[in-house]
Amino acid sequence: MNAFTQVSTNTTALTNASVHFRCFSFSKTGGFSYFDNMEEAQVHIDTLDEHQVPYDVMTREQFLNQYPMYTLPGDVTVVLTEHPMGALKADACLKALQAEFVKLGGVLRDSTEVVHVEDLDEKFVRVKTCSECIFTCDKLIVCAGTWINKLLYSMGFKLDVKVI
């Protein structure tokens, strides 16, 4: 379930949210992807070309000469270095997503145990919490974590969720 599509169909707001993510939650580091053969790499290269993402193609030897601090698995023959690659800052992304969700009319209920979800009709569901609060909504995202089976069992479902 894509949280953005569930929050709003307002594409301008969603685009602005994406810009916010890029400005505050991304750390550009560069990166690389490696492949056993050129045929495997070509699929990735085609996607990078389609989206105009800058990259370099290197043989295993070229890569190890330029980046001697790395080791590669023995079967790697092709390495792509992708210049704009980086890491998302999870805490900042979550804060930005929650802020945008609320701004677009969503309601967040932290630390609220959901004990039952019931279909009312094709469009709405009723949600009951442990504090006997009852909500009716047309879209619902439940982040139940390891308690998901307890919730789903009350609705006649079961997932094979294992705590690790």
- Over residues 133-146, the pLDDT tens digits come to 888 888 877 777 77
In percent, how much of the chain has pLDDT > 90? Answer: 32
Is residue 11 scored above 60 in pLDDT?
Answer: no
Per-residue pLDDT reduced to its tens digit, 22-62: 445 778 888 899 999 999 999 999 999 999 999 999 999 99
pLDDT above 60 (res 82): yes
**If you average pLDDT over every residue of the chain, what do you get?**
79
pLDDT at residue 70, rounded to an integer: 92
Give tens-digit pLDDT for 106-120.
888 888 888 888 888
Inter-helix orientation angle 11-24/90-103, to 10°: 150
The pLDDT value recorded for residue 113 is 82
Using an 8 Å Cβ cutoff, are 33 and 40 in contact? no
Q: How far apart are CA 153 and CA 64, in angstroms?
A: 52
Whether 102 and 8 have beta carbons less than 8 Å apart is answered as no
pLDDT given at position 145: 78
pLDDT in tens, 95-107: 888 899 899 988 8
- Whether 108 and 59 have beta carbons less than 8 Å apart is answered as no
